[in-house]
Structure 1
Amino acid sequence: MTLGQGQTLTTGQLVGGGRFKIIKSLGQGNFGETYLAEDRHDSPTQCALKRFIFVSSNPTTFAKAKELFEREAKALKDLTEKPENHLIPKYIAYLSDGQEWYLAQEYIDGCTLREELQRDKSLNEDKVASLLEDVLNSLTFIHRKGIIHRDIKPANLIRRNEDDKIFLIDFGAVKQEVAQLATPGTQIHTKGYAPVEHIQGNAKDCSDIYALGMTALEALTGVEPEKLKDITTGKVVWPPSFNASDKLKKILEKMVEHNCQRRYQSADDVLDSLKLAGFTGTLVVAPGRSPTVPSVQNVGGGISKMPMWLWFAIAAPLVMILAFTLGLLFVPHPPKPEREKQQDIQSPKPTPQPSDDDIFKRPPGTP
């Protein structure tokens, strides 16, 4: 039983029953190869074509592997057809050809974060914050659908040339299940990016948050993830003289907490902290969540400055009330009618004087 690559496909070769024409190789992994291909179905268009090979002499095992791939293809199709999806390449087709399976997806013209870091070594804070926002929005979307990515790392993030948006690719769930068919007990993860609960076979939503946090740490510092954590304490080891804002450091440190209970539990929680710290735009409320403003003490225990938008939200009603009150005080009143004026200037009525009878009726000693 084997899982991996067969003979490399060549430029111009037709596969998938003649539907796809190979243009060039985009990369190889443990589970197959990815090619830039032309989809000749209907109007020709370019796509990313993933080729998987699973060889087994056991018909039951082979049938199970095929079922897993088909299920994953259907899940991806359902996921990427949703209108909320923006940053996951769209599903195009799934085809099988003997012991080879092909998954065609939208081709994203750009470069992976791994290629970007090989060229530029690191990214500035703004780019890291933007990367986090894009991927966290994708994680919010897939986690609500009950899907865990399981393999977030620089090689699985693509920056689109058109608009610099970061796309999330190469979901790892099917890899895990098929690998266990090939070798029972196998756990699929990438060293340095997977948290302990994932390595132990208990991946959670917050496992994706850990992997994204380690990816962002590597992008920010230019240091490999294995060198960014103290193996004894599990704490982040920041490079000497490294200069970054304390707010972003605290957010990243909480994303990669060794103890998953102390980690951010959802992608929305991280987005809220980023927005509160002033790194991204307005608060986004996912369906089913209450539109609450997170505490300013929720990042690393320190009190952050209140963002400018919150000051305006508080001050605007107070300014309106003050302006209305001043208007009542200083707006001139209409003149009174002439008759009322005459009554106003009349002499006051004389105060009645007590009569002699009244005086004598008073009790003795009263003046």
Structure 2
Amino acid sequence: MLQVKEILQERYQLERQLGNNGIRQTWLAQDLQATEAAQSLVVLKLLAFGGAVQWDDLKLFEREAQILKQLDHPRIPQYLDYFCIDERTLWFGLVQEYIAGESLKEKLQNGTRFTENQTRKIAVDVLKILIYLHELNPGVLHRDIKPSNLIWGEDNKIYLVDFGAVQDRAAKEGATFTVVGTYGYAPMEQFGGRAVPASDLYALGATLIHLLTGIAPADLPQKDLRWQFVDKVHTSQVFVNWLQKLTEPSPEERFTSARVAFDALKAGKAIQLSHENKFLKVKEFVNNSGCGIRNTNEKVPEEILGWNWGAFLLPWLWSWTNNVWIGLFSLIPHIGWGMAIALGANGNEWAWRSREWRSIEHFKAHQRGWAIAGMMIGAPLSILMWYLAIMLLGHWF
């Protein structure tokens, strides 16, 4: 029985247990040989061979160590060490970098409800990791994406952990694999022992649905093997369609790769669902732009909201190119500064309503350009005008 403060390999001092599923134990440990304090905390996974532990469990454990040793990605904990101890019980140990933060499962348990913007950010971060894994030669499948295996780091970045179910795709066709995965997140083909890259996409989709609804996928109703979650979320139709595409029951009906799913999410490509006889396009949601600045019935996309530096620093020119004519009040003395502040705070919403845009990305690119122009032209011009005004007041008084 392992105890807190026990030292393994004359190096790793156990601090506290992070998990125990009866087969594996996971500990937070102190690396007594670490040269830097920031690297002293590590995650130590231990497998005691014998008893309930089968050969398949040992194979998965060794496979995790072998594959982690080959991976090099900033959002995947770094492999540090692997060892075995033969003292009464044969222990196998895997040492990894410790990621400070909180798992998405812990956030859900603490009552956090994720917005569409937060969920999209998580989707983008995880898809970037999956693109790296799937495009390795041979490709690597995680096979156990779920909230408990996604860490929201203290740096506000998402990390993918626990590669205990990992599989590389170098095996020959017809080979058998250990069946792994978590019910509700793993697709049917994975329980049949035939995981593919689209299997990880399904698990990601199920995870994102859990974050949006606060309900575990296993507790959601199903129809034709599809999760019924639309009535439980407040999100754009296009994001719902994207999630439905990720979680299609048949892997052939999902996105063909993590890169394709990433491109569709970022660029707003047409999405075809197998149970629909039509294309559901981003335009149905995105192009409510140009609906009119007084139109309060149309919902503005959440991801475009925020402070607009271009409108604040160059209000007179910005208003003209974005058709926000109310911004011309910024030219009137005494109220100009107030109008500039109003444009900075509300400019994105007003510009979206006042002009038609091809897509959200088109809108963002346009506003980025104005922000750069504002920093390079508007800010220096404003400083110069303030300087001249102060000099003029000093001359008069």
TM-score by length of 1: 0.68
**What one-letter code is carried by the residue in structure 2 that aligns with 1:233?**
D
1:173 is paired with a residue whose SS is coil
Inter-partner Cα distance in structure 2 for 1:144 and 1:195: 21
Q: What is the aligned counterpart of 1:188 among 162, 180, 195? A: 180
Inter-partner Cα distance in structure 2 for 1:68 and 1:222: 31
The alpha carbon displacement at 1:298 in A equals 3.0
* CA deviations over 1:294-339 (Å, ceiling 9, x no partner): xx3236522323325447989xxxxxxxxxxxxxxxxxxxxxxxxx
Counterpart in the other structure of 2:261: 270
Q: What is the aligned counterpart of 1:51 among 26, 30, 46? A: 46
Is the contact between residue 267 and residue 361 of structure 2 (CA under 8 Å) also seen in structure 1?
A: no
Is the contact between residue 264 and residue 270 of structure 2 (CA under 8 Å) also seen in structure 1?
A: no
Inter-partner Cα distance in structure 2 for 1:248 and 1:155: 23
Counterpart in the other structure of 1:10: 3
Inter-partner Cα distance in structure 2 for 1:172 and 1:148: 11
Counterpart in the other structure of 1:134: 125
Counterpart in the other structure of 1:307: 359
**What one-letter code is carried by the residue in structure 2 that aligns with 1:126?**
N
1:253 is paired with a residue whose SS is helix
The alpha carbon displacement at 1:66 in A equals 5.6
1:74 is paired with a residue whose SS is helix
* Structure-2 change in CA distance of 1:216 and 1:119 (3 Å): same
Count of equivalent residues = 272
2:48 is paired with a residue whose SS is strand
Counterpart in the other structure of 1:87: 75
Counterpart in the other structure of 1:236: 227
1:137 is paired with a residue whose SS is helix
Is the contact between residue 14 and residue 20 of structure 1 (CA under 8 Å) also seen in structure 2?
A: yes
* Structure-2 change in CA distance of 1:90 and 1:185 (3 Å): closer
**Misfit runs of 4+, over 4 Å:** 64-68, 308-314
The alpha carbon displacement at 1:10 in A equals 2.1
The alpha carbon displacement at 1:147 in A equals 0.8
Inter-partner Cα distance in structure 2 for 1:185 and 1:79: 21
Q: What is the aligned counterpart of 2:68 among 46, 69, 76? A: 76
Inter-partner Cα distance in structure 2 for 1:89 and 1:261: 31
Inter-partner Cα distance in structure 1 for 2:6 and 2:125: 36
1:261 is paired with a residue whose SS is helix
Inter-partner Cα distance in structure 2 for 1:141 and 1:126: 23
* Structure-2 change in CA distance of 1:222 and 1:72 (3 Å): closer
Is the contact between residue 89 and residue 106 of structure 1 (CA under 8 Å) also seen in structure 2?
A: yes
Identity over aligned residues, as a percent?
Answer: 34
1:26 is paired with a residue whose SS is strand
Is the contact between residue 247 and residue 299 of structure 1 (CA under 8 Å) also seen in structure 2?
A: no
**What one-letter code is carried by the residue in structure 2 that aligns with 1:51?**
L
Counterpart in the other structure of 2:251: 260
Find out whether 1:208 has 2:190 as its counterpart. no
Find out whether 1:197 has 2:189 as its counterpart. yes
Inter-partner Cα distance in structure 2 for 1:313 and 1:18: 55
The alpha carbon displacement at 1:175 in A equals 9.3
1:96 is paired with a residue whose SS is strand
Q: What is the aligned counterpart of 1:150 among 143, 153, 157? A: 143
Inter-partner Cα distance in structure 1 for 2:27 and 2:92: 13
Counterpart in the other structure of 2:30: 38
Structure having the larger proportion of residues in helix: 2
TM-score by length of 2: 0.63
What is the RMSD computed on CA atoms of the aligned residues?
A: 2.9
Inter-partner Cα distance in structure 1 for 2:233 and 2:166: 39
Find out whether 1:159 has 2:137 as its counterpart. no
The alpha carbon displacement at 1:43 in A equals 1.8
Is the contact between residue 186 and residue 199 of structure 2 (CA under 8 Å) also seen in structure 1?
A: yes
* Structure-2 change in CA distance of 1:56 and 1:166 (3 Å): same
* CA deviations over 1:186-219 (Å, ceiling 9, x no partner): 6222111111100111111100000010000000
Is the contact between residue 60 and residue 165 of structure 2 (CA under 8 Å) also seen in structure 1?
A: no
The alpha carbon displacement at 1:240 in A equals 3.6
The structure with the larger Rg is: 1
**What one-letter code is carried by the residue in structure 2 that aligns with 1:116?**
K
Inter-partner Cα distance in structure 2 for 1:241 and 1:42: 48
